[in-house]
Amino acid sequence: MSATTSTDDLQVVHRSDPVEDRAAAFADRLLAGGLAALEMTTVELGRRLDLYSPLRGRALRAPELAARRQVAPRYAREWLEQQAVADVLVCDDQDLPADQRRYRLEEPVARCLLDPEDPSYVAAFAAFPVLCATQLPALLEAFRSGGGVPYSAYGLHDAQGAQNRPVFANELEGWIEAVDGLTARLLHPGAHVAEVGCGVGWAAIRLAELFPELRVDGFDLDAASVREARRHAKARGVQGRVRFAEADVTDPDLDAGPYDLVLAVEMVHDLAAPVEALAAMGRLAGEDGTVLVVDERVAESFAAPGDDLERVFYAFSVLHCLPVGLSEPGSEGTGTVMRPAVLRSYAERAGFRDVQEVALGSDLFRGYLLLD
């Protein structure tokens, strides 16, 4: 490739080197990614210390924020300056001495950082790079040995729940409506739902809020998640109709069901034994219940390079989902990128006769109706 410039009668030809251009572009990309990771970590720092909420609707100086949140003034000042430089906060009076400048959080940004059921809420995403990085030594060992890293080691149940909470708050009702006849069934007195892999409980709680007569049982193997789910149910006033249990649904001695709906959201790809779990979901649904699996909206087939969403899914798979799945012997080793064909093969092996995709209207998730 070349470009030509002219200075009067003299023409100068500039030749570009594709190899050097590619190297420069990739170097810029890595630097931008490193910057993003560092700035995400400062967002997570602010989130954990609750530094953002005092700045919503008011402008504060560094000493004032430090006093409100019981942090050291010098750290407060540095964080405020960094957040303003990163265009997260707005700095007023920039020409004043450092401790006299005021900082504020504008409302559109506040929605993204502070409103956990707003469709724009993404603050929890900042936790994932930090939490995954803590397991880097274990990941190195897993890569060498072929083993895995258990889910409980990451401690990301709260972040995972917070990331999905706005989706459940704003989309779950539409998911139910997308399955013919399911809304009417869940409105019927005595209706009973099981959520498999319930995490910290936001989907189960939302279902109970949407359907006043509904009883919901949430099952999960992670003790920390179950504790948080119970706390959330109590805080939302639905603990009388929502029950959470630390249990393995594949246990033949589990005394539960039949259910009108058995739901699994964003968890089948994490399982070491997804076929056994799907078969258990079929048993819990009995002859008349509905089995609905919701998982990542990955591409139908592999293609490289991929779009941003596919890149996110693969990064999570390398750092979390695949190691979690491989932490048990005999694992299928699915990973985050569970293509529709893979889910169909698991369902067939689990004894289902067909899988129908459900149009959820979601940018992030696909729905699968499993038919026996």
User: 236-245: per-residue pLDDT in tens?
Assistant: 999 999 999 9
Whole-angstrom distance, CA of residue 36 vs CA of residue 30: 10
Beta pairing, strands 2-7 & 10-15:
antiparallel
Annotate 297-307 with b (16+ C-beta within 10 A) or e (fewer). bbeeeeeeeee
pLDDT in tens, 137-163: 999 999 999 999 999 999 999 999 999
Return the pLDDT at 12.
67
Task: With a cut of 70, say whether residue 13 has pLDDT above it.
Answer: no
Q: What Rg do the C-alpha atoms of the chain give, in angstroms?
A: 25
Query: 180: buried, middle or exposed (CB in 10 Å: 19+, 13-18, 0-12)?
Result: exposed
Query: 204: buried, middle or exposed (CB in 10 Å: 19+, 13-18, 0-12)?
Result: buried
**Domain locations in the chain?**
39-114, 130-371
Task: With a cut of 70, say whether residue 14 has pLDDT above it.
Answer: no
Task: With a cut of 60, say whether residue 305 has pLDDT above it.
Answer: yes
Return the pLDDT at 16.
77
Task: With a cut of 60, say whether residue 1 has pLDDT above it.
Answer: no
The answer to whether the peptide bond before residue 252 is cis (omega within 30 degrees of 0) is: no
Which parts of 240-364 fold into alpha helices (H)?
274-285, 308-316, 322-325, 340-349
Considering the four listed CATH numbers 1.10.150.120, 1.10.10.10, 2.30.36.70, 2.60.130.10, the one that applies to the domain covering 39-114 is: 1.10.10.10
DSSP state, residue 56: B
SS3 category, 219: strand
Query: 109: Cβ–Cβ under 8 A, 6 or more apart, which residues?
Result: 88, 89
φ, ψ dihedrals at 115, nearest 5°? -105, 100
CA-angle at 196, arms to 191 and 198, nearest 5°: 95
Return the pLDDT at 15.
72
pLDDT in tens, 204-216: 999 999 999 999 9
| Mean pLDDT rounded to a whole number for the chain | 95
The answer to whether the peptide bond before residue 63 is cis (omega within 30 degrees of 0) is: no
* Length of the chain measured in residues: 372
CB 247 within 8 A of CB 229: no
The verdict on domain 130-371 having CATH code 3.40.50.150 is yes
CB 123 within 8 A of CB 114: yes
**Region 48-76 average pLDDT:** 98
Angle between helices 202-210 and 223-236 (to 10 degrees): 30
DSSP state, residue 16: P
